[in-house]
Amino acid sequence: MDNFVEEVLLNHDQIVEASSRLGKVLTEEYKDKFPILIGLLKGSVPFLAELIKHIDCDIELDFMQVSSYRGVKSTGTVVMLKDIVTSVKDRHVLLVEDIVDTGLTLKEVMHVLDDRGAKSIEVVTLLDKPENRVVEMKPKYVGHTIPNKFVIGFGLDFNEKYRNLNYIGVLKESEYKK
């Protein structure tokens, strides 16, 4: 374990298992729908890359970058930094997220895509942290539910660091209270 990590919540094998399980469900439920998977940058990239290995039907990929975080806290304001290029009108959309935390970012993105005429919008997330939710949001496809701790790794960062860890760990408080 790295010295900046308090505990490992999910090792790499557990992440792959969750991705495989979710991929099988998505394959079954979307096999005849040609869904658009929209990865929310930057954190979703490792999970999205693992997830699509386990989806056995036609999909389309696009990316959107939105942010509401600075450090370890949500600012409460959602800012769109990069928009998708694909039209979602009359399409099934799967928003791929590394973690659903407060729900603010996803709720705003879902409103935008709904206004653009998406046929359906669902969320697939590696991690769900319902204890920290500030808006009503229940992702349909969840890899693991986790406690209200600040996690890093496999796309999740602290000020852009630690995204490249191949596991999910709890960042030591001493690391962000410096």
Per-residue pLDDT of the chain (178 residues; tens, 9 = 90+): 799 999 999 999 999 999 999 999 999 999 999 999 999 999 999 999 999 999 999 999 999 998 765 555 555 677 789 999 999 999 999 999 999 998 988 998 999 999 999 999 999 999 999 998 999 999 999 999 999 999 999 999 999 999 999 999 999 998 888 6
CA dihedral 26, 27, 28, 29 (to 10 degrees): 40
pLDDT of residue 75: 57
Predicted pLDDT at 177: 82
Indicate the residue type of 107.
K
- Sign of the Cα torsion 40, 113, 128, 14 reads negative
Paired with 120 in beta bridges are: 92
Catalytic residue selected from 98, 101, 128, 157: 101
CA 104 to chain centre: 13
**Domain spans in the chain, listed from the N-terminal domain onward:** 13-146
What would the CATH number be for the domain defined by 13-146? Answer: 3.40.50.2020
What was the pLDDT predicted at 105? 86
pTM for the full predicted model: 0.92
| Active-site annotation holds for 101 | yes
130 phi, psi to nearest 5 deg: -65, -25
Which residues in 36-50 are b (16+ Cβ under 10 Å) and which e? bbbbbbbbbbbbbeb
Q: Smallest Cα–Cα separation from 151: which of 78, 43, 16?
A: 43
Instruction: State how far the alpha carbon of 168 is from the alpha carbons of 33, 50, 111, 131, 155, in Å.
Output: 32, 14, 29, 18, 9
